[in-house]
Amino acid sequence: MATFFGEVLSVYSRAVEEEDEDIVENEEDEEIRRELEKKREVNLLWSPEILQSLTSGNKLQCSDFILAVGHNAASFLSAYVLSSSNWDAVGRASVWNERSRAVAGQSSEDSACVFYRHKDNPSVLICRVTCYIAEDQLFQWAEKVFDCVQHRGLNVTVLSDSSVADYKTENYLSSSSAPFLRSLHTTAFSDQPVCQSLEQPNIVTGLPAAVLNHCQVHCIAAAVYQCYSDVIGPDSVTMETYTPVLTKLGKVMQLVQPPSTDVLSKFVRSTDIQSNLYI
């Protein structure tokens, strides 16, 4: 730009400076977004034996996969199945999100998402999940876990906790009605469920829904058993509600029934009932 006296001045534009600042900020935002995405990835950490097998291109030979989601479902497996000492912890899933914090170096026993395999019947795999898995991590979890498992001949059973306050019905529901089971299964599931089907407009959400959807897409026989309870936290009565499900699976596992008082006390926080229903 030239002045009246012929002096040449450099052209300055504030818009150009702001555009440069926006580019820098966008690059920083993109870097932060990539770091968060990487941090929120679901990581599976297997035992050396299984890891070596998976690395060699093999899949876990699994006939039955039992997944427990929620404190009552997970505590039921711990008290009624895993307390028999016939199970080995063979892996865990590491999850980081706004409500769950994965801890580096955490052992399988201390993790909130642990995989167990039967010592005498390695084709039976169990997973206990008591941590929160965010919506953007559900597909990851299902995809990564089932990618490690042989699909042929696989049967999936999901035990899921839910509040009776979320159960929709036209009829009056008293506190004495809970806890109770409802089921939902894939079209490949040919067995007879141990309870009645989940009525509309009730739905299954979270990890059970993600697993059921994955199994439906890949033609895997799967059933979700959702327990509606009016008690907050692990409760022995709610835990017992799951018994018919695994009793039917007696051919692949042995239930510890009934568990000793000492075993149950490890998983039941309190004997005081805290109801979510008003009578």
Domain-by-domain residue ranges, the chain?
A: 60-97+110-255
Mean pLDDT of the chain: 82
Identify the CATH number of the domain defined by range 60-97+110-255: 3.40.50.10900
- What's the rounded mean pLDDT across residues 111-123? 88
At 127-169, the pLDDT tens digits run 999 999 999 999 999 999 999 999 999 999 999 999 998 998 8
Per mean pLDDT, which range of 165-169, 175-179, 228-232, 254-258 is the poorest?
254-258
CB 180 within 8 A of CB 242: no
Residue 217 clears pLDDT 90, i.e. is over it: yes
Q: What is the pLDDT of residue 266?
A: 67
At 24-41, the pLDDT tens digits run 667 777 777 788 788 889
